[in-house]
Amino acid sequence: MRLAVACLALLGALVGVGPAAAADPAGLVCSDGPTFNLTARAGGMETPDGNTNLMWSYSTTAGHFQTPGPVLCVDAGDTVTVHLRNELPEATSIVFPGQTGVSATGGTSGLFTKEAAPGGDITYTFTANTPGTYVYESGTDPAKQVEMGLASALVVRPPGHADWAYADSSTAFNGEFLVLLNEIDPELHSAVENGQPYDISTLHNRYYTINGRSFPDTLQDNGVPWLENQPYGSLVHIKPYDATLNKRPALVRVLNVGLANHPFHPHGESLQFIAQDGRQIKARTTGNDAVTEHFGETVPSGSTQDFLLSFRDQDSFAPGNPVPVTFPSYRDMTFKDNNTWYSGSPYLGTVGKLPSPTVSQNVCGAFFFPWHSHALNEFANYDVAFGGMATLLRVDPLTGCGTPGLQTYTGSPASVTRTSPTPVATVSNGQQGLAALGGTRTDVTSNTSGTTRRVEWYATFTGVPAAGVNLKVAYSGYNRLTGFLSGLPWGGCTQTVRIWNWTTSAWVNLNTQTVQRTQVDIADLLPAGPDTKYIGTGGNGGEVRVGVACTRTFSSSFLSATFVSSGDLMQITYDAP
Amino acid sequence: MNNTRREFLKSAGIGAAVIAAGTGTGSLFLGSASAASVSLGLVGTDGYITLPGRPEPQDVYIFGFKRLPQNRLNSPVGDIVRDYKTTAEHVAPILDFREGDDITIALTNAGLSIRPDLVDSHTIHWHGFRTPLAVFDGVPEVSIAVPELREFDYFYRPHDPGTYMYHCHFEDVEHVQMGMTGIVFVRPRNHPTWAYNDSSTAFDREFPILLNEIWTTVHDNDENIQESIHTDYDPDYFTLNGRVYPQTVLPTGHGSLPNQPVSSLIQCRPGEKVLLRLANLGYQQHAMQLPGIDLKVVGEDATLLKSPGGDDLSYVTTTLYLGPGEARDVIFTAPAYSAAREGGSDGHGAYNRWWFRNRSANKLVNGNVPNELGGMVTEVRVYQNSIPDQTSAGVTV
């Protein structure tokens, strides 16, 4: 069985057909509609204890076998067309619970819906119902075909709002994750594989899966080549809530396509329960959102539940605000199997030293929390605990953690331009003054008359790849009066550090504060994503512009003075291949 | 390793002031009107409980927690191990905290007398806590576990009132089944007799009740150095606070149940508001009923049932369906006493009896004992005469 799978993989590589997964390492992977060409076929799924189970599943007709089937994404109101080709040894079909007015053309009649005969085809058409998360699954001999894996997810989005779960701005999200629960009795699958009698009354589940994988395979990226038939990971990868930088919660779409109910328990942070079975949860009398938070929620068989997730630390614990307990020497503690997701430091974004030979899977001080079925017999792979229906929540520091396969680069300005007042000539030391802390400074002089004095200038960084992400800005400088007054305290000007948005052709403010004669170091300024809008294209390809503006209004012309914006360091960092 | 904190508590004089003396059973009213520092100690070890229908002496081997008396918090680890090894209780001690307090729980791993070969670590996982630091989540794979003969301080500052649970997360499929499970709850800072910061959740008496199952196969296998296959899960006992009926109605700390000190007897007077703090750390869902009395669910998973827009989302039910890892805060109003109604008499005089029970009748048995009510059921006794006030949740009056 394993040999056969390996040969299939080689064939797939030769003809250039890969799993349906996209490049995103984590998060929900959509197959976009509204027209889908699916094929029902058989293939293997592997479990972490080395077993392989025969599965039946839907795949894109042009794609590789995959379990679960592709996540079908459409907009509400779309006319959805699903062509199903049947390569299984018996008739099969699709039903769409939660959708109404589904019509079928072709095929043969069956008990619950029209079916495609072995080797045959059928086409289902419907108008996508209200936004939400839905199941699609076999309507033919479900006791056998659903257990064998013929079930997956249909996502209906509100038109025009791909980043809202429902037609309701309170459901806006940043990051979308799929948690599709299922369970497997290997004896039943073996019976199908070997042509033995199939008896659902002997059901005895041994494997429990999320998105078709059992823990710890669930943590692997989408589309990793060594899980070629199981393209969907389920790592929930987010950053903490921040009122400006990460205001939106993540969306977690939970579906149970198994035969048993599963009580799902998220560690770390409770989930906001916003919808069940494609319907927002509303207060009966007022129609208000009736969102409640849960640290455990039973997902009924066949049901879907949508949750929003924001990770918050209202105590702001950090190295400078530590918890009032003393940590013992790590040598006196257990790190299970000398392998841990702990960073060695209790605080987000910091890393500590662990005793050898402990290996940490944590590169930047992220937090990891297990999410798992709390029917703990399902938190196992057959007889091996810490497996099965489980995944991890990973919370990165707000300033980012880098991305696998990417390196962090630091950029220094290529040029400096004064835009107000003109002309450019009054910039002294240019980009060189901004290259490093200390040493020469880049001095830009304000206008010299009137009660309101202002200076505006920007540095241009070049050569930033279009794929650059996790852009961060740092600026150190002060503002001083000119000439013989330059050493005096003077109250300063209102300084804004900003970044140019090439999409809107406007400056985006990152930091505003009053800065006078004392140097202020401003680091880790994070422009709101996506970063692509800050990286120039076409004639400005690879350009990033970071600006400084400073304004001071004096009380009278007699007391007005010219000042100089004096930059010491300007830097960007970004991650790129 | 904790001298700094303990010295601080001693020198500030608050160690004794804010911590009620431990009774060793049931819960304690901890905390005060303003935010305080609270310290307590738990020991992780093994022991035995008693279940009817088991072969004599009706013992079941367990892993569990034992609470240290407050005056032993400063004891050297070696002395704690000597004095508390193999004293595990099930359920674990009820932990009763106040919103906003700084809470330190020192966990000492005293090891296993019966299985000295099994050098298992232990942890505390506060199930449902909105955890600001993963290191205190108690999951050994993502943080720290406490090996035998070592001690670790867990720190919590709870901001959200409600009912939670706690358990060991080290090889938790086994350690949870073996008995390292208990209830922890958080009272509103300024309203200790409200379930939440909302007057609609005011109560007169409260009863934390942990629902659980025991699959004696795992316990016997662990005692006899055998492995278990957890996907064969097939429990034979169904417990409330670690006891089965009729144990459930025995008073707190009953002499016949030295390691199952927590009673589930619900004692009240007519008209009183009674809060049930319910949590399920079994692996199965349970359908709980109190026939004849409406159950009003005011909180779920330590969240008040009120919408962001202020809608009252509480609901009344006759059957409460509780999945593994879920918690519910339920309030009922005790009905009037009627001499014509079924009941009995105990040290507080005559009472009417109501049954709080699992609807699934297969969970109302004790192992193989035939034709006798057992398992996941307890009594609500509504007394004719006045009864004393509760001193702490989980302790019978």
B134/A370 CB distance under 8 A: no
Residue type (1 letter), A444? V
Q: Judge whether residue A473 has pLDDT over 80.
A: yes
Tell me the mean pLDDT in the region A320-336. Answer: 94
- Cα B138 from Cα A30, distance rounded (Å): 35
* Partners of residue A266 in chain B, C-beta under 8 Å: none
- Secondary structure element (H or E) that encloses residue A256, with its range: strand A250-256
* B215 to chain A, closest Cα gap in Å: 11
Q: Which residue did the predictor score with more confidence, A23 or A141?
A: A141
pLDDT tens digits, one per residue of B229-285: 999 999 999 999 999 999 999 999 999 999 999 999 999 999 999 999 999 999 999
* Partners of residue A391 in chain B, C-beta under 8 Å: none
Give residue A472's pLDDT: 87
Looking at chain A, the whole-number percentage of residues with pLDDT higher than 90 is 79
The owner of tokens 């009510």 is: B373
* Nearest chain A residue (CA) to B212: A375
Q: Judge whether residue A358 has pLDDT over 50.
A: yes
Q: Judge whether residue B130 has pLDDT over 80.
A: yes
| Average pLDDT along chain B | 92
B127, B132, B171: residue with CB nearest A385: B171
* Nearest chain A residue (CA) to B132: A313
A317/B141 CB distance under 8 A: no
CB B13: neighbour CB atoms within 10 A?
9
| Average pLDDT along chain A | 91
* Partners of residue A314 in chain B, C-beta under 8 Å: 132, 159
Give residue B22's pLDDT: 34
* Partners of residue A313 in chain B, C-beta under 8 Å: 132-133
Model confidence, pTM: 0.81
Give residue A454's pLDDT: 94
Give residue B17's pLDDT: 31
3-state secondary structure of A26: coil
Q: Judge whether residue A7 has pLDDT over 90.
A: no
* Nearest chain A residue (CA) to B159: A314
CB B207: neighbour CB atoms within 10 A?
26
Beta-strand runs (E) in A164-219: 176-184, 207-210
Tell me the mean pLDDT in the region B305-324. Answer: 95
* B384 to chain A, closest Cα gap in Å: 39
A379/B173 CB distance under 8 A: yes
Give residue B33's pLDDT: 59
- Backbone torsions φ then ψ of B165, nearest 5 degrees: -145, 165
For an interface test with B, which of A374, A386, A391, A394 has the most B Cβ atoms less than 10 Å from its Cβ?
A: A374
For an interface test with A, which of B8, B131, B139 has the most A Cβ atoms less than 10 Å from its Cβ?
A: B139
* Partners of residue A325 in chain B, C-beta under 8 Å: 2, 5, 104, 153-155
Q: Which residue did the predictor score with more confidence, A34 or B25?
A: A34
Confidence tier at A405 by pLDDT (50, 70, 90): low
* Partners of residue B172 in chain A, C-beta under 8 Å: 376, 379, 385
Q: Judge whether residue A108 has pLDDT over 50.
A: yes
Do B138 and B125 contact (CB within 8 A), yes or no? Answer: yes
Counted across chains A and B, CB pairs separated by less than 8 A come out at 213
Q: What is the 3-state secondary structure (H, E, C) of B268-333?
A: ECCCCEEEEEEEECCCCCEEEECCCCCEEEEEECCEECECCCCCECCEEECEEEECCCCEEEEEEE
* Partners of residue A383 in chain B, C-beta under 8 Å: 227-231
For an interface test with B, which of A323, A337, A368 has the most B Cβ atoms less than 10 Å from its Cβ?
A: A323
* Partners of residue A339 in chain B, C-beta under 8 Å: 141
Q: How many CA atoms lie within 13 A of A237 on its CB side?
A: 18
Q: How many CA atoms lie within 13 A of A14 on its CB side?
A: 6
First-to-final CA distance of chain B: 40
* B107 to chain A, closest Cα gap in Å: 12
Give residue B19's pLDDT: 34
* Nearest chain B residue (CA) to A326: B2
B364 forms bridges with which residues in the sheet? none
A263/B146 CB distance under 8 A: no
* A341 to chain B, closest Cα gap in Å: 5
Q: Judge whether residue A54 has pLDDT over 60.
A: yes
Q: Judge whether residue B95 has pLDDT over 50.
A: yes
B144/A332 CB distance under 8 A: no
Give residue A402's pLDDT: 65
Residue type (1 letter), A186? P
A339, A346, A373: residue with CB nearest B133: A346
- Cα A495 from Cα B293, distance rounded (Å): 67
Residues with Cβ within 8 Å of A433's Cβ and at least 6 positions away in sequence, in order, are: A439, A440, A441, A442, A443, A567, A568
Shortest CA distance to A40 belongs to which of A199, A142, A151, A186? A151
* Partners of residue A355 in chain B, C-beta under 8 Å: none
Tell me the mean pLDDT in the region B197-209. Answer: 97
Give residue A404's pLDDT: 56
A334/B153 CB distance under 8 A: no
Q: Judge whether residue A406 has pLDDT over 70.
A: no
3-state secondary structure of A97: coil
Q: Which residue did the predictor score with more confidence, B347 or A7?
A: B347
Q: Judge whether residue B374 has pLDDT over 60.
A: yes
Q: Judge whether residue B292 has pLDDT over 90.
A: yes
What is the ipTM score, two decimals? 0.91
Residue type (1 letter), B367? G
Using CA atoms, how far residue A5 sits from A12, A58, A67, A222, in Å, is 10, 17, 14, 19
- Cα A296 from Cα A374, distance rounded (Å): 8
Give residue A399's pLDDT: 83
* Partners of residue B311 in chain A, C-beta under 8 Å: 283, 285-286, 288, 290
Q: How many CA atoms lie within 13 A of A483 on its CB side?
A: 4
A347/B133 CB distance under 8 A: yes
Q: Judge whether residue A20 has pLDDT over 50.
A: no
Tell me the mean pLDDT in the region A501-521. Answer: 93
Give residue A530's pLDDT: 82
Residues with Cβ within 8 Å of A180's Cβ and at least 6 positions away in sequence, in order, are: A68, A152, A153, A210, A211, A212, A232, A254, A255, A256, A257
pLDDT tens digits, one per residue of B106-120: 999 999 999 999 999
Candidate from A348-357, B89-98, B123-132, B338-347 with smallest mean pLDDT: A348-357
* A269 to chain B, closest Cα gap in Å: 5
* A295 to chain B, closest Cα gap in Å: 5
Q: Judge whether residue A245 has pLDDT over 90.
A: no
A205, A288, A373: residue with CB nearest B309: A288
Give residue A359's pLDDT: 93
* Nearest chain B residue (CA) to A337: B141
Looking at chain B, the whole-number percentage of residues with pLDDT higher than 90 is 88
Q: Judge whether residue A423 has pLDDT over 70.
A: yes
Confidence tier at A199 by pLDDT (50, 70, 90): very high
B130/A334 CB distance under 8 A: no
* A338 to chain B, closest Cα gap in Å: 9
The owner of tokens 């009941």 is: B343
Q: Judge whether residue B183 has pLDDT over 80.
A: yes
Residues with Cβ within 8 Å of B34's Cβ and at least 6 positions away in sequence, in order, are: none
B300/A367 CB distance under 8 A: no
Do A379 and A385 contact (CB within 8 A), yes or no? Answer: yes
For an interface test with B, which of A376, A381, A386 has the most B Cβ atoms less than 10 Å from its Cβ?
A: A376
Tell me the mean pLDDT in the region A513-539. Answer: 89
Q: Judge whether residue B313 has pLDDT over 60.
A: yes
* Partners of residue B143 in chain A, C-beta under 8 Å: 340, 342
* Partners of residue B120 in chain A, C-beta under 8 Å: none
Give residue B321's pLDDT: 96
First-to-final CA distance of chain A: 37
- Backbone torsions φ then ψ of B164, nearest 5 degrees: -125, -170
B155, B229, B311: residue with CB nearest A288: B311
